[in-house]
Amino acid sequence: MKRSLFLLVVTAVVFAACARTQEAGSLNDPRVDKLMKRMTLDEKVGQLVLFTSDWTVTGPSMRQGYIDDIRAGRCGNIFNAYTADYTRKMQEIAVNETRLGIPLLFGYDVIHGFRTIFPINLGLSSSWDPQAIEEASRIAAREATAAGLHWTFSPMCDISVEPRWGRISEGAGEDPFLGSAISAAMTRGYQGEDLSDPATLLACVKHYAAYGAPQAGRDYNTVDMSERWLREFYLPPYKAAVEAGALSVMASFNELDGVPATANSFLLKDVLRDEWGFKGFVVSDYTGINEMVCHGYAADEADAGRLAINAGMDMDMQSASYFNYLKDLVQSGKVSRHTLDESVRRVLNVKAALGLFDDPYKYCSPEREATETLTEENKAFARSLAAESMVLLSNDGTLPLRKGEKIAVIGALADSKDDLLGSWRGAGEVQSVPASILDAIREAAGPGNVVYAEGCKEMGEDRSGFSRALTAAYGASKVVLVIGEDCQWSGEAASRSDIRIPGVQSELLQKLAATGKPVAVVLLNGRPLDLSEDLPYAGAMLEAWFPGTMGGYAVADVLFGDVNPSGKLSVTFPRNLGQVPIYHYAKNTGRPYVHPEAKYESRYLDVPNEPLFAFGHGLSYTSFEYSPVELSAASFSGEGGITASVTVTNTGEVEGTETVQMYIRDLVGSVTRPVKQLKGFERVRLAPGESREVVFDIDAATLSFYRADMTWGPESGEFKVFIGGASDKVNEASFSYLD
């Protein structure tokens, strides 16, 4: 019987992660202890200071004051600076012109690629392909280290069910199981097997913790939830990245349980270090320490520094609280020398693990920078992964397009290379994007088969281009309308109170549909959108996210059927904002909505309870049929287990990939349980008519949760297992467990 490939991979990952964690547990380079004995108080504080560089038209530069601080040993780390030559220049100052010659650590936001930009992370997660995401992270690491970087502020492990929040675009969606698989994969991709390898990059787990649950969906806002919910649904992806070997963690901007994460000892000490055994260092987010004054938690910036380092915050990014006040705090006894030394030792040990003490210039190779970035191999992989990340939301037969037919391409976003890259695009540049969506469609369709009209911008009320767009549609056999958000309308500081398609783009869609020509909508966006008013007018709707450097070609690959879409949503799409938050692992109520005629049940009067597109949803150009769920036994106990299996058959006419998803429901618990929880998935590629059995293991660990007494484990009782192609399209079976 074929075991689930995914579960076998996870097992291998766990053993590998344990091995790496044990290595991290002994992170103690003997050179560090010798160095610590020689360091002055100023030099120790300097190792906990991270200052940012500036960018000019000629590239990165440091303010003279910061360079003087580097020479004096008062700044040991640099953010927002790269190129091999620049890293070497700064490193030569640190190594040759300071008393102790301690190398600098260079960090940057390499979020979904460095020079070769992959789809935004929400798009990557829709591939449900951790192995491919790991390879994308490995490519990003090779490119970033070739340009002089040591450290990336990624993976972002924030679970979110909040589409108003702009930074939902940077994470893996709403589910902790899928999110954990992806955060571990990214960590492995960045750090590899040997962090001292010059092609590996130090990962940073962020934003710790629960940053993805801001009240009102507004960035940087308050987060408040029970410890049970935090531990079960928000902490797992951070933990998975730590277990995969990550050696740095970034605290989040938000408060949790009334205490800013930047000085939250429960998060930074009790959970991260004492429970998870983390041995690396913790860095604040940008000016996060000083922001505790605005939170109303610190009296002033000196007090903020005291609170942060005593709670376990090792490094200060940009706020200068440590730079200005930490020496005095130590001398006055408000911060112990032991606390300071432990933070310094952690930072130095990570620098040693990176190999910087062996060769501080190992990341400074102009030859690598010239030959290892934006290679043809990297771009080919980016094109493939971008296509794999796209989700076919709906299709009445409008797609795929036929090469040679007359196509009208409409929308300002169709002719935009910039928007393909999305936000937090690393060092990606528009001039490195070979084709817009329009360019790629023209190339695929053949000469003379494409007519373009802008129609309207992605924002604003200008309808002057409508008439030209309608003329183009009337002269074509099919219409491709590319609409969505400007790329800067998602990401940091990009929250929205309205998640509908902005401007007059929806109005343009309605007018194009009125021509009677089939309209295929391509969406560029960084969050779940309210598409309820748009869906009836689209013959097909393809969620392309912001697909990266090769995104134009990837969209064309899917539109013309050269690639059969296989993406599945990693986040729920609501019918409207009033349903938010809406997610697949919600709980039942005492009055669940089961009777359509009933009034006093948990329901809306104006819309159904169900989302527009459920978690795990995604169509294909072929069709898949699922057999009933078969269990190897009706029950198990203790350390035993059972298997749940289905046979999946490609009943269509083209080859396709289906992501088979397994969900579990615990019917009765000592605390209430979700109606569905994702517990396994596997991607299977099937030829027309081919069938394959997919088998999932179920054991005590699969059923475990935080019980009434907050211990982790399973409880005896009855369970349901659901297997299918989306959270709302499953077959089910029942079994029991005896503890």
Q: Summarize the confidence of residues 630-659 as an average pLDDT.
A: 98
Round the average pLDDT of the chain to a whole number and report it: 95
Given this model, what pLDDT does residue 26 score?
56
* CA 666 – CA 673 distance, rounded (Å): 6
Q: Which domains occur in the chain, in start order?
A: 31-57+75-368 (3.20.20.300), 387-579 (3.40.50.1700), 624-738 (2.60.40.10)
Confidence band for 513, pLDDT divided at 50, 70 and 90: very high
Question: Is 50 exceeded by the pLDDT of residue 2?
Answer: no
Question: Is 50 exceeded by the pLDDT of residue 151?
Answer: yes
Given this model, what pLDDT does residue 60 score?
86
Contact yes or no for 719/664 (Cβ under 8 A): yes
Helix (H) or strand (E) holding 241: helix 236-243
Question: Is 80 exceeded by the pLDDT of residue 6?
Answer: no
* CA 566 – CA 571 distance, rounded (Å): 15
Q: What is the four-CA torsion angle of 163, 164, 169, 170, rounded to 10 degrees?
A: -110
Percent of the residues in the chain that have a pLDDT greater than 70, as a whole number: 96
Confidence band for 63, pLDDT divided at 50, 70 and 90: confident
Q: Spell out the SS3 assignment of 381-425.
A: HHHHHHHHHCEEEEECCCCCCCCCCCEEEECHHHHCCHHHHCCCC
Task: Kindly report which listed range (17-26, 236-245, 446-455, 546-555) carries the lowest average pLDDT score.
Answer: 17-26
Contact yes or no for 41/70 (Cβ under 8 A): no
Going across the sheet that includes 77-79, the strands are 151-152, 105-108, 77-79, 49-52, 316-317
* CA 424 – CA 451 distance, rounded (Å): 32
Structure pTM?
A: 0.95
Given this model, what pLDDT does residue 24 score?
38
Tokens of 149: 């970087």
Q: What is the pLDDT of residues 516-557, one digit of tens each?
A: 999 999 999 999 999 999 999 999 999 999 999 999 999 999
CA of 525: how far to CAs of 214, 217, 614, in Å?
Answer: 20, 17, 18
Q: Is the pLDDT higher at 21 or at 128?
A: 128
Q: What is the pLDDT of residues 214-246, one digit of tens each?
A: 999 999 999 999 999 999 999 999 999 999 999
Tokens of 590: 């005492």
* CA 205 – CA 158 distance, rounded (Å): 9
Question: Is 60 exceeded by the pLDDT of residue 5?
Answer: no
Given this model, what pLDDT does residue 18 score?
38
Question: Is 90 exceeded by the pLDDT of residue 9?
Answer: no
CA of 706: how far to CAs of 231, 232, 669, 699, 709, in Å?
Answer: 8, 7, 10, 16, 8
Q: What is the pLDDT of residues 567-602, one digit of tens each?
A: 999 999 999 999 999 999 999 999 999 998 899 999
CB atoms within 10 A of CB 421: 27
Q: What is the pLDDT of residues 350-401, one digit of tens each?
A: 999 999 999 999 999 999 999 999 999 999 999 999 999 999 999 999 999 9
Per-residue burial over 30-51, b if 16 or more Cβ lie within 10 Å, else e, is eebeebeeebeeebbbbbbbbb
Question: Is 60 exceeded by the pLDDT of residue 1?
Answer: no
Task: Kindly report which listed range (53-67, 357-371, 646-660) carries the lowest average pLDDT score.
Answer: 53-67
* CA 362 – CA 355 distance, rounded (Å): 8
Helix (H) or strand (E) holding 508: helix 505-513
* CA 584 – CA 650 distance, rounded (Å): 26
* CA 147 – CA 115 distance, rounded (Å): 10
* CA 472 – CA 414 distance, rounded (Å): 14
Percent of the residues in the chain that have a pLDDT greater than 90, as a whole number: 94
Q: Is the pLDDT higher at 432 or at 61?
A: 432
* CA 36 – CA 33 distance, rounded (Å): 5
Question: Is 50 exceeded by the pLDDT of residue 491?
Answer: yes
Active site residues: 285
Confidence band for 81, pLDDT divided at 50, 70 and 90: confident
37: left (phi over 0), alpha (psi -120 to 50) or beta: alpha
Report DSSP letters for 48-91, one per residue: TEEEEPEEETTEEE--HHHHHHHHTTS--EEES---HHHHHHHH
Q: What is the DSSP secondary structure assignment for residue 572, as one 8-state letter?
A: P
Q: What is the pLDDT of residues 289-313, one digit of tens each?
A: 999 999 999 999 999 999 999 999 9
Q: What is the pLDDT of residues 457-477, one digit of tens each?
A: 999 999 999 999 999 999 999
* CA 232 – CA 706 distance, rounded (Å): 7
**What angle do the packed helices 64-71 and 84-96 form, to 10 degrees?**
50
Q: What is the pLDDT of residues 248-270, one digit of tens each?
A: 999 999 999 999 999 999 999 99
* CA 732 – CA 724 distance, rounded (Å): 9
Given this model, what pLDDT does residue 54 score?
86
Q: What is the pLDDT of residues 102-113, one digit of tens each?
A: 999 999 999 999
Given this model, what pLDDT does residue 59 score?
80
